[in-house]
Amino acid sequence: MTSDTIAAPKLIGPNEPDPQEKYAPYVRHDSYGIMGRAHLSWTEKVLLGVAMLTLLPLRVAAAMTLVVLCYLTCRICTAFLGPNEHGNYAHLEGWRRKVIMASGRFTGRALLFAFGFYWIDETHRGHHHVPPLNSNHKARSEEERAGVIVSNHVSYTDVLYHMSSSFASFVAKKSVARLPLVGLISKCLGCIYVERESKTPDLIGVSGVVNQRIQEACKNKFSPMVILFPEGTTTNGDFLLPFKTGAFVARAPVHPVIIRYPYRRLSPAWDSISGARHLILLLCQFVNHMEVIWLPVYYPSPQEKDDPKLYAENVRRFMAHEGSLILSDIGLAEKRAYLSACNGDTRTTANNHQKVN
């Protein structure tokens, strides 16, 4: 047993099940352990040391250069223009939009390359298909476009992939808009800004904006699509959590995408390791791998249009079936309890456990 093994059974009660089973979607299985602090062999230490002295500074410099160049492009394209009422530049058209999209897609792919994702294995399973779990779907015309991409969520690099592939708009925290460099880029992406912990009536407005943007993207091919991670948090990549209904309330077709990260030493999944530690270890890995499966556009049946929960669950089961993912019923609350157990925070773990139950 390594020093990285958690003592969660003692923290959450003697009668509780093994946390690595109870919280399986969040458990890491790579060489660096649950918190990225596992005991390493001398060979692994030497490889990590060499990478920190060579790969890490080069990749950080390359990433910073790419972000600055993208920022300058966005600054030029938005010069003398103000954001729309939602605080972004999703309304831009013409040459400005084309230049921003080209720059953003190039930056996303170049950043992935700088992070060690030299090749991305993409599979496209057709544009229109009747899912085997829903035989009532009807074939649709080519003109009817999915306004939203729904994807499983494994790592922060998911964002870079979707940025490079479709330059779709994300739902992001309001604080992202205020970040240096990245803030303007996110506005040009057309990000929809929210406060995750807020319980104010503004959330109704955010839901309405997402719905409106999805409808616009369905009708207008020049309108940016919206990318949503309906699980609401990241997993280790082997599971699929319950879907929130935000992507399905619009009653519009969705385009499901599954992202996988095959690995040998470090898993690119961002589940329990701190952000800074995970990013350093990721940048120190010589090669990272990504596999992406683009499933057929999923058209809702009349019953699914009338019931967003049914629609969300059917899409979730369709993605799990096609991607060989394991369905799990736990969510963000359980993840917080698990992270508290990993960090040895007895009091926080107990409080979270009471809330979950």
- 282-306, pLDDT tens digit by residue? 999 999 999 999 999 999 999 999 9
Entry pTM: 0.84
Rounded-to-integer distance, Cα 17 and Cα 9, Å: 7
Contact 192, 170 (CB under 8 A): yes
Taking residues 339-344, what's their average pLDDT? Answer: 83
DSSP 102-132: HHHHHHHHHHHHHTT---EEEEE--SB---T
Beta bridge partners of 172: 193
Rounded-to-integer distance, Cα 64 and Cα 342, Å: 32
Taking residues 324-340, what's their average pLDDT? Answer: 91
**Which range (38-47, 49-58, 70-79) has the least confidence?**
38-47
CB count in 10 Å sphere of residue 124: 10
Both tokens assigned to 318 = 């369709």
Closest by alpha carbon to 169, among 128, 223, 220? 223
Q: What angle do CA 249, 254, 255 make, to 5 degrees?
A: 155
DSSP 125-184: --SB---TT-TT-----TT----EEEE----THHHHHHHHHT--EEEEEGGGGGSTTHHH
Taking residues 31-59, what's their average pLDDT? Answer: 91
Taking residues 221-246, what's their average pLDDT? Answer: 91
pLDDT at 193: 86
Residue 195 has pLDDT above 80, yes or no: no
Contact 319, 252 (CB under 8 A): no
Radius of gyration, alpha carbons of the chain: 21
Both tokens assigned to 13 = 């009660």
Rounded-to-integer distance, Cα 210 and Cα 39, Å: 45
pLDDT at 15: 56
* pLDDT tens figures, 217-228: 888 777 788 999
Residue 97 has pLDDT above 50, yes or no: yes
Rounded-to-integer distance, Cα 189 and Cα 183, Å: 10
* pLDDT tens figures, 207-218: 777 888 888 888
Rounded-to-integer distance, Cα 344 and Cα 338, Å: 10
pLDDT at 134: 45
Rounded-to-integer distance, Cα 193 and Cα 182, Å: 14
Burial of 99 (0-12, 13-18, 19+ CB in 10 A): middle
Both tokens assigned to 213 = 């943007």
β-pairing, 254-260 vs 290-294, is antiparallel
Q: What is the residue whose two structure tokens read 């329990």?
A: 272
* pLDDT tens figures, 15-39: 555 666 789 999 998 989 888 888 8
Contact 6, 19 (CB under 8 A): yes
pLDDT at 17: 56
Band of pLDDT at residue 340, cut at 50, 70 and 90:
confident
Q: Tell me which DSSP letter residue 25 carries.
A: G
* H-helix or E-strand spanning residue 317: helix 308-323
Rounded-to-integer distance, Cα 332 and Cα 323, Å: 22
Band of pLDDT at residue 183, cut at 50, 70 and 90:
very high
* Residue bearing the bigger pLDDT, 87 or 229: 229
Annotated domain spans of the chain: 39-125+143-341
Backbone CA torsion sign across 138, 302, 166, 63: negative
Taking residues 182-198, what's their average pLDDT? Answer: 83
Q: What angle do CA 212, 217, 222 make, to 5 degrees?
A: 130
- Which residues have C-beta within 8 Å of that of residue 24, sequence separation ≥ 6? 238, 239, 326, 328
Mean pLDDT of the chain: 84
pLDDT at 147: 87
- Half-sphere exposure at residue 34, Cβ-oriented, CA atoms within 13 angstroms: 22
pLDDT at 293: 96
Band of pLDDT at residue 356, cut at 50, 70 and 90:
very low
Q: What percent of the chain has pLDDT over 70?
A: 83
Taking residues 233-240, what's their average pLDDT? Answer: 94
